[in-house]
Amino acid sequence: MLRAKNGEVAMLRRVLSLLILLLGAGLAAPAPAIEIPGLDRDASAYDAQLTRRFPAGATPQQRAAAESRARAAQQRNDWAAAASAWEERIGAGQATPDHWTALADAQLRRTPPEAMRALQAGYRAFVLVPGGPPEIPSLLVMAEALRVLNQPMWQIVALEEVVERAPEDAPRRSAQSRNPDPVGAEHRPLEVHDGRRRSSQRDQSLAEVGASHGLVPRDIVLCCDDGRPAGVENTACHS
């Protein structure tokens, strides 16, 4: 009888250990907060394309040289050369979120801008950083890329994620971005609508962040009852 009870206890311990492991695995990899269809796949393909340049891995000297070229190109505003050098640096291995964010910024600043590559690079930075305020720089560069790509619905989603992470700090951070003062933005009334009835402070933060990224404030309309963003041309749920 004692052996049977001991066997049952041992089995119970194994079951509990298995449940803890399964629960931990489920909590360790939460889904990204912004999920644009196909973006994760395309960003991973971009990463793979860059790393194929160094199949055997690069030396620390090669990585340092590529980064030096990228920063020198930035200093002289040669953004095409900066983007190429940042791609080389990332392909050389041990890339950080800052490297991906710098690549995204260079892709946006080059002429003409490579907004899709910028979006993919920004997303790679986004998935590599811890959740919360560290995600803000990558979300801002993704929002700018989405603006250039004329994707206002997803641009609004990205900007909302910025406000979620730092509602009081978002306007200041966005004011430091590359396009801080669109012509006439400060003279237009801010209009934000949302069926979820967000607080006026959060509405104001979203409007200010959106205006700093080139969105006309009247276009910042979130009116669906299910919280789905309605872009400039998506009027199906406007009331």
pLDDT in tens, 134-169: 999 999 999 999 999 999 999 999 999 999 887 565
| Residues of the domain holding 69 | 35-114
- Looking at the fold, whether 67 and 107 belong to one and the same domain comes out as yes
Element housing 41 (H / E): helix 39-51
Is position 183 within any domain? yes
Is position 161 within any domain? yes
Binned at pLDDT 50, 70 and 90, residue 186 comes out as: very low
The CA–CA distances, whole Å, from 16 to 2, 3, 60, 175 equal 21, 20, 45, 51
- Looking at the fold, whether 108 and 134 belong to one and the same domain comes out as no
Asked whether the predicted pLDDT for residue 53 surpasses 90, the reply is no
- Residue where one domain finishes, among candidates 54, 83, 114: 114
Is position 11 within any domain? no
- Looking at the fold, whether 181 and 99 belong to one and the same domain comes out as no
Whole-prediction pTM: 0.65
- Looking at the fold, whether 135 and 197 belong to one and the same domain comes out as yes
Is position 153 within any domain? yes
- Looking at the fold, whether 154 and 181 belong to one and the same domain comes out as yes
The per-residue pLDDT for 111 is: 96
Is position 82 within any domain? yes
Asked whether the predicted pLDDT for residue 183 surpasses 90, the reply is no
- Looking at the fold, whether 133 and 110 belong to one and the same domain comes out as no
Each residue's pLDDT tens digit, 204-213: 666 566 555 5
Q: Lowest mean pLDDT: which of 35-39, 54-58, 216-220?
A: 216-220
The per-residue pLDDT for 10 is: 60
Is position 15 within any domain? no
Is position 23 within any domain? no
- Looking at the fold, whether 103 and 135 belong to one and the same domain comes out as no
More confident residue, 237 or 119: 119
The per-residue pLDDT for 202 is: 56
- Looking at the fold, whether 138 and 212 belong to one and the same domain comes out as yes
- Residue where one domain finishes, among candidates 57, 90, 114: 114
CA atoms of 157 and 33, how far apart (whole Å): 10
The CA–CA distances, whole Å, from 144 to 23, 50, 65, 214 equal 37, 23, 29, 8
- Residue where one domain finishes, among candidates 46, 81, 114: 114
- Looking at the fold, whether 146 and 232 belong to one and the same domain comes out as yes
More confident residue, 98 or 4: 98
Please, are residues 210 and 191 in contact by the beta-carbon 8 Å criterion?
A: no
Binned at pLDDT 50, 70 and 90, residue 55 comes out as: confident
More confident residue, 179 or 12: 12
The per-residue pLDDT for 57 is: 75
- Looking at the fold, whether 167 and 99 belong to one and the same domain comes out as no
Average pLDDT on 211-220 reads 47
Cβ count near 57 (within 10 Å)? 11
Average pLDDT on 105-109 reads 97
Helix/strand/coil (H/E/C) assignment for every residue in 103-164: HHHHHHHCCCCCHHHHHHHHHHHHHHCCCCHHHHHHHHHHHHHHHHCCCHHHHHHHHHHHHH
Binned at pLDDT 50, 70 and 90, residue 37 comes out as: very high
Q: Report the mean per-residue pLDDT for the chain.
A: 73
Q: How far is C-alpha 158 from the geometric centre of its chain's CA atoms?
A: 7
- Range ranked top by mean pLDDT from 9-18, 20-29, 54-63: 54-63
The pair of three-digit structure tokens given for residue 214, joined into one six-digit string: 């080139």
Which neighbouring-strand residues pair with 230? 221
Is position 13 within any domain? no
Binned at pLDDT 50, 70 and 90, residue 195 comes out as: very low
- Looking at the fold, whether 144 and 207 belong to one and the same domain comes out as yes
Q: How many domains does the chain have?
A: 2
Binned at pLDDT 50, 70 and 90, residue 58 comes out as: confident
- Looking at the fold, whether 92 and 169 belong to one and the same domain comes out as no
